[in-house]
């Protein structure tokens, strides 16, 4: 899941406090990540940054598997190119952020074995 960390930053899904953490990105859930436009990527990056405490924030969990992106520009330029729907990617990110907010070995392990995250990982989104 390293790519997502790079992508979405430094605690990208590291989660926690943030602006817009409960809302969804304004991107059609059936769109493949590989088919997202720059505007879609910007929306997804801003959504993720909100979940993870803002651009450039450090993870609050020492076991964090994804981190907040350093900036919107870097997030958009390094966004994953994988064949999964935005809705599956979003569900995985939410799962990881929730696990990181709980910050227990068990919650992280459950997130890593989540079916949406398995699909996202197998598609290479986090490479």
User: Band of the pLDDT at 127, cuts 50, 70, 90?
Assistant: confident
Q: Domain coordinates of the chain in residue numbers?
A: 2-20+27-122
This model's pTM is above 0.85: no
Q: Measured between alpha carbons, how far apart are the two ends of the chain, in Å?
A: 6
What confidence tens digit (pLDDT) does each residue in 83-93 have?
Answer: 999 999 999 99
100: helix, strand or coil: helix
- Per-residue model confidence as pLDDT tens digits over 41-51: 999 999 999 99
Question: Helices marked H in the chain — which ranges?
Answer: 2-7, 38-51, 72-77, 86-102, 105-112, 115-122
Per-residue pLDDT reduced to its tens digit, 25-62: 989 999 999 999 999 999 999 999 999 889 999 988 99
CA nearest 70: which of 49, 91, 40?
49
């Amino acid at each position: 899941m390293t790519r997502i960390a790079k992508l979405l930053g430094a605690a990208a899904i590291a989660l926690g406090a943030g602006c817009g953490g409960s809302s969804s990105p304004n991107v059609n859930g059936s769109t493949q990540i590989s088919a997202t436009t720059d505007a879609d990527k910007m929306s997804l990056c801003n959504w993720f940054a909100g979940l993870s405490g803002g651009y450039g924030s450090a993870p609050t969990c020492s076991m964090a598997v994804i981190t907040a992106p350093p900036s919107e520009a870097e997030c958009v330029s390094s966004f994953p190119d994988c064949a999964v729907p935005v809705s599956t990617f979003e569900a995985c990110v939410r799962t990881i952020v929730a696990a990181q907010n709980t910050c227990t070995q068990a919650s992280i392990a459950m997130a890593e074995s989540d079916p949406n995250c398995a699909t996202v990982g197998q598609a290479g989104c986090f490479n």
